[in-house]
Structure 1
């Protein structure tokens, strides 16, 4: 597995660095199975998605106010 090509600009990285996102998201998606990441798939297809959408496609409303 390799680090996702979008990781440098992904809000998941920023949320993690700010302590707002659990490390499991980074390990399991960003530096793990990034092909299974809903954010990755939408980015690849040019589909818009909110910054507070987690890699599994769920929305974390607690992150919404931190945008």
Structure 2
């Protein structure tokens, strides 16, 4: 099942632009999205930067 936030998530944009490895999309966005830190923060209304990866790490290369 796909994450309900996928269509508006920066991870989709980064992937479409070729900046993000497919594993992130497969493992989280179209996989176990409930384990995604971004998903958890979005669900609780907490701020998270666009360049935060699904595992919670910040990728300074993403802008």
Q: Where in structure 1 do 4 or more consecutive aligned residues deviate above 4 Å? A: none
TM-score of the two chains, using structure 1 as the length reference: 0.93
Distance 1:4 1:49 in 2: 17
- May I ask how many residue pairs the two structures share in their alignment? 63
Give me the whole-angstrom Cα distance separating, in 2, the residues matched to 1:49 and 1:7.
Answer: 15
Which sections of structure 2, spanning at least 5 residues, go unmatched?
none
What's 1:21 paired with? Answer: 20
Structural RMSD (CA)? 0.4
Structure 1: gaps spanning 5 or more residues: none
TM-score, structure 2 normalization: 0.99
C-alpha distance in structure 1 between counterparts of 2:19 and 2:28, whole Å: 16
